[in-house]
C-alpha cells in the first residue's frame, strides 16, 4: 500500500534509483482517451536530470515504454503500465554510503524500518521514484483537460528569499517554461538562477516554494470529512521528496486576518455564483467551488551537499561524510512537473469519485 495512490484513478509506482528500472501502473484510467508516448515523454523531459546547468548532471534519457493498456493510441480502460530503464548508474560515487548514513536523507530510517536498504543513490527514496508519478500525471492531466476542460499550471514561486509575483488566474505554461528555473516572473527568475549557480559552486543547496493552480475545475469535487480536496492535495504534495509544508488558498498567511477580512463573499456573476476574493483557494468544506484551486508546497534545501558533514556509520559510530555524487543544488525547477502530476492525479481521482457517487454526466 505504501506505493499506491488514489481510489478510482489509482497508481502504483516501483523502482529504485540504481535498480534496473522505475515505472508505474495506472489502474482506473477511463477508456477511449487518446494518448501517445510523446505526450508522456514531454512531461518526463521536464523532470529529467541534466536538463540545465542548475539541475543534477546525472545523464538519463528517461525514455518511456508503454507496456500495456493503450491500443492504437487509445486507452482501453485497463491498467496502463509505463517503464523507464535506468542507465547512468555511477555507483562508485556512492561507495561511502554503504557504511555511512547521509544526514537528513532516508538512509537511516530505511535501515531502521526494513533492516536492509538499497544504499546506492537512496534506492527507493530517490527522486527517480517520481518518474512514475510524472508519467501517470501526464495521462491524468490529458484526461482532465479532455473530459472537463481543467488546466493545471505550477511554477517556482520562491527560492530562498527570492519571491516571484505571479497571478495564478492568468499564468501560462509557456511563461513557466520560458526559463530554466521555471519561474514566470522573468526578472526574479534571473536572480534565482544566479543564486542557484552561486550556491551550486559553493557545494551547498537551496529550498523554496512551488505554487500550483488548477483552473476550470468543476464544482463539487472533493469529499466531506477525511477526503477533502485540500487534504488529498496536501497528502499528494507532502508525499513528494523534500516537501515539508503545504497550504491552500490563504494558507498560513490567512491566519493573520480577521474573519471579516478573510471570508470570500459570494456574488451573482451573470447567472454563475462566484466569490469576490479567493482566500479559500477554490475549496470550501473540502469541495471545489468553481474558483481557481491554488496551493503551495514548501521544499527544503536539498539534503545532498558537497561539504563535509558529521554523521554516524552503520555501526552507530561518529564519523564524517563528504558526498562526491552529482546533486541538485535546488530541487524546485524539477519539482514543478512533479507537483502538476500529483495535482492532476488527485483531481482525476475525485472527478471519477464524484461521477460515481453523484453521477454528474459522462
171-210: contacts with a second copy (CB under 8 A)? 199, 204-209
Residue for grid cell 515504454: 65
Instruction: Pick the binder of a second copy from 44, 54, 80, 293 (CB under 8 A).
Output: 80
Binding to a second copy, residues 112-151 (CB under 8 A): 112-118, 123-125, 129, 148
| Among the residue ranges 44-52, 55-63, 176-184, 254-262, the one whose residues contact a second copy (CB under 8 A) | 254-262
* 92 in contact with a second copy (CB under 8 A): no
The contacts of residue 29 (CB under 8 Å, 6+ apart) are: 9, 69, 75, 77, 80, 139, 140, 143
Closest approach, Cβ 229 to a second copy, in A, equals: 9
Instruction: Pick the binder of a second copy from 99, 109, 170, 172 (CB under 8 A).
Output: 109
CB closer to a second copy out of 185 and 232? 232
Instruction: For residue 5, list its beta bridge partners.
Output: 11
SS3 126: coil
Binding to a second copy, residues 297-326 (CB under 8 A): 298-305, 307, 309-312, 316-318
* 81 in contact with a second copy (CB under 8 A): yes
Give the total of residues touching a second copy (CB under 8 A): 156
* Pairing of β 272-275 and β 80-85: unpaired
Cβ-count burial of 285 within 10 angstroms (0-12 exposed, 13-18 middle, 19+ buried)? Answer: exposed
DSSP code string of 346-361: HHHHHHHHHHHHH---
* 41 in contact with a second copy (CB under 8 A): no
DSSP code string of 73-91: TEE-SS-EEEEEE-----G
Closest approach, Cβ 174 to a second copy, in A, equals: 26
Closest approach, Cβ 28 to a second copy, in A, equals: 6
Residue for grid cell 555507483: 91
Closest approach, Cβ 59 to a second copy, in A, equals: 21
Binding to a second copy, residues 205-234 (CB under 8 A): 205-209, 218-228, 230-232, 234
Cβ 137 vs Cβ 345: under 8 Å: yes
Closest approach, Cβ 142 to a second copy, in A, equals: 16
Neighbours of 77 (CB within 10 A): 13
| Among the residue ranges 18-26, 53-61, 137-145, 177-185, the one whose residues contact a second copy (CB under 8 A) | 18-26
Instruction: Pick the binder of a second copy from 36, 42, 87, 252 (CB under 8 A).
Output: 252
CB closer to a second copy out of 180 and 312? 312
Instruction: Pick the binder of a second copy from 137, 184, 249, 325 (CB under 8 A).
Output: 249
CB closer to a second copy out of 138 and 156? 156
Instruction: Pick the binder of a second copy from 98, 201, 244, 322 (CB under 8 A).
Output: 244
Closest approach, Cβ 96 to a second copy, in A, equals: 14
3-state secondary structure 123-161: HHHCHHHHHHHHHHHHHHHHHHHHHHCCEEEEEEEEECC
* 53 in contact with a second copy (CB under 8 A): no
Torsion of CA 42, 237, 11, 141, to 10 degrees: -40
Instruction: Pick the binder of a second copy from 55, 56, 179, 250 (CB under 8 A).
Output: 250
Cβ-count burial of 315 within 10 angstroms (0-12 exposed, 13-18 middle, 19+ buried)? Answer: exposed
The contacts of residue 5 (CB under 8 Å, 6+ apart) are: 11, 12, 236, 239, 345
> How many CA atoms lie within 13 Å of 253's alpha carbon, on the beta-carbon side?
8
Instruction: Pick the binder of a second copy from 36, 170, 267, 322 (CB under 8 A).
Output: 267
Cα–Cα distance for residue pair 229/220, rounded to 1 Å = 10
* 23 in contact with a second copy (CB under 8 A): yes
CB closer to a second copy out of 108 and 155? 108
Amino acid at each position: 500500500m505504501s506505493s499506491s495512490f488514489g481510489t478510482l484513478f489509482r497508481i502504483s509506482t516501483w523502482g529504485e534509483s540504481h535498480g534496473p528500472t522505475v515505472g508505474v501502473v495506472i489502474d482506473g484510467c477511463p477508456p477511449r482517451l487518446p494518448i501517445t508516448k510523446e505526450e508522456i515523454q514531454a512531461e518526463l523531459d521536464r523532470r529529467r536530470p541534466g536538463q540545465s546547468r542548475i539541475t543534477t548532471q546525472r545523464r538519463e534519457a528517461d525514455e518511456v515504454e508503454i507496456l500495456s493498456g493503450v491500443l492504437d493510441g487509445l486507452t482501453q480502460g485497463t491498467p496502463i503500465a509505463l517503464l523507464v530503464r535506468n542507465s547512468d548508474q555511477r555507483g562508485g560515487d556512492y561507495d561511502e554510503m554503504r557504511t555511512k548514513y547521509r544526514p537528513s536523507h532516508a538512509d537511516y530510517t530505511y535501515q531502521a524500518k526494513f533492516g536492509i536498504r538499497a544504499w546506492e543513490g537512496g534506492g527507493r527514496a530517490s527522486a527517480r521514484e517520481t518518474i512514475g508519478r510524472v508519467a501517470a500525471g501526464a495521462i491524468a492531466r490529458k484526461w482532465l483537460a479532455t473530459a472537463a476542460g481543467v488546466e493545471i499550471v505550477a511554477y517556482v514561486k520562491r527560492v530562498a528569499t527570492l519571491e516571484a509575483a505571479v497571478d495564478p488566474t492568468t499564468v501560462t505554461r509557456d511563461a513557466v517554461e520560458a526559463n530554466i528555473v521555471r519561474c514566470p516572473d522573468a526578472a526574479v527568475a534571473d536572480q534565482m538562477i544566479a543564486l542557484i549557480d552561486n550556491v551550486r559552486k559553493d557545494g551547498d543547496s537551496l529550498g523554496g516554494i512551488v505554487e500550483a493552480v488548477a483552473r476550470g475545475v468543476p464544482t463539487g469535487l472533493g469529499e466531506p470529512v477525511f477526503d477533502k480536496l485540500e487534504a488529498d492535495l496536501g497528502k499528494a504534495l507532502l508525499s513528494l521528496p523534500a516537501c515539508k509544508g503545504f497550504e491552500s488558498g490563504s494558507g498560513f498567511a490567512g491566519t493573520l486576518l480577521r474573519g471579516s477580512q478573510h471570508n470570500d463573499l459570494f456574488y451573482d456573476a451573470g447567472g454563475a455564483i462566484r466569490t469576490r476574493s479567493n482566500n479559500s483557494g477554490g475549496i470550501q468544506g473540502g469541495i471545489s467551488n468553481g474558483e481557481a484551486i491554488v496551493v503551495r508546497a514548501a521544499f527544503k534545501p536539498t539534503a545532498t551537499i558537497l561539504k563535509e558533514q558529521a554523521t554516524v556509520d552503520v555501526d552507530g559510530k561518529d564519523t564524517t561524510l563528504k558526498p562526491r555524487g552529482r546533486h541538485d543544488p535546488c530541487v524546485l525547477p524539477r519539482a514543478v512537473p512533479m507537483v502538476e502530476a500529483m495535482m492532476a492525479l488527485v483531481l482525476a481521482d475525485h472527478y471519477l469519485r464524484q461521477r460515481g457517487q453523484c453521477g454528474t454526466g459522462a
